[in-house]
Chains A and B, each alone.
Chain A
Amino acid sequence: MPLQADFLLRERKNYPMVHYIHFKDPTSREIEEKLDSIPRCPGTCFFIDVINSTDIKYRTKLRQWGKRLNNTFNFISFLNDLPGNVVKGIGDELMLFIPDEDLFSKTSYNNYFGLLGEIYATIDNLMNYPIPDTFLNCKVAIHYCTEVYNISFFEHANDYYGMDIDLTARLMTKARANRIVLSEKFFIKVKNDMIDHDVRIQDSIISGISPVYMEDFKGVPHPTEYRFIDVGA
């Protein structure tokens, strides 16, 4: 069971799927051949950003800020099997990527609807925890990625690159506290799971989902459709 704030470091040395790219000769053709041979790695990417962390850091003492960030990261770690799926943390933002292969083999939620349900529950629990100043609120952007590759330029590290990862980061610009922004591509996956499991939208956590919006994101060559869920609204 994934617990404690050290989850970011766990399993760091064991990434059997990552393609490690490291060539000393900058003119090497080998690197191009190696890159051409790397398969796509379809899966779900999401970013979780802790809200107001920077503000609290400057307004309060380190111990108050650090405690709440620690607690919040711990709580986020309850997203099942998260240690293996955290790609990186930068300050108060986490990037996660769950390859389809991993998602389908999970024992708890093993589909996109289940994943969204766990993310929703996490945000809701953080919002509704009754003792003040214990946690921080979060915002989330989530996208189903097909144009993505599991490569790292650093030994013993894991990373994912591709246009769909960039797009997930762009979706975060539409998020705010306690909001989950979903690309339409991910929402379609969720909807298909709901049909398969006979779950009606009006009876589910996505009953309040927004209509579809369209946006031209910086650097993305085509308009992107997205929706959002305001948790607790």
Chain B
Amino acid sequence: MIVNEEKKGNVYVLTPEGRLDTTNYTILEQHLAKITGANAGNILIDMSKLEYISSSGLRVLLMYLKKSKEVNGRLMLCSMIPDIREVFEISGFVNIFEIYGSREDALAS
């Protein structure tokens, strides 16, 4: 899995590509740790290129949602493909994350 990182204003935009699971979640975790550790700003994860997410992937998002809140930051998600959206619905994660239809909507929020 590759994670592209860019900055838009005070928001770090992370775009993971491929599958997020137990074999590679640490790649995304390293990016999230760096940003939340430095209290550097809000985070938006653009999920448009994410094809699959497992329990390990959900776990790292849940962990960093809590950490972001602890430092008064926001962890937002956007542009989920339908399969990923369904996982978030059934896991109840739609009720705990800020989820936007597009990157533009998230950045404007």
Contact = CB atoms under 8 A, between A and B. Distances in A.
A79 B87 CA distance: 12
Contact of A109 (B54, B59, B86): B54
Interface string B60-76: 00110010000000000
Interface string A61-76: 0000000000100110
Interface of B: 19, 21-23, 52, 54-56, 58-59, 62-63, 66, 83, 86-87, 90-92, 95-96
Given A118-B56, A125-B62, A1 B92 contact: no
A79 B95 CA distance: 21
Interface of A: 1, 3-4, 71, 74-75, 77-80, 107-109, 113-114, 117-119, 121-122, 124-125, 128-131, 134-135
Given A78-B91, A80-B54, A134-B92, A108 B19 contact: yes
10 contacts: A1-B52, A75-B91, A80-B54, A118-B21, A121-B55, A121-B56, A124-B59, A128-B62, A129-B96, A135-B92
B87 A3 contact: yes
A122 B21 CA distance: 12
Nearest to A123: B55
A71 B23 CA distance: 26
A206 to B, nearest CB: 12
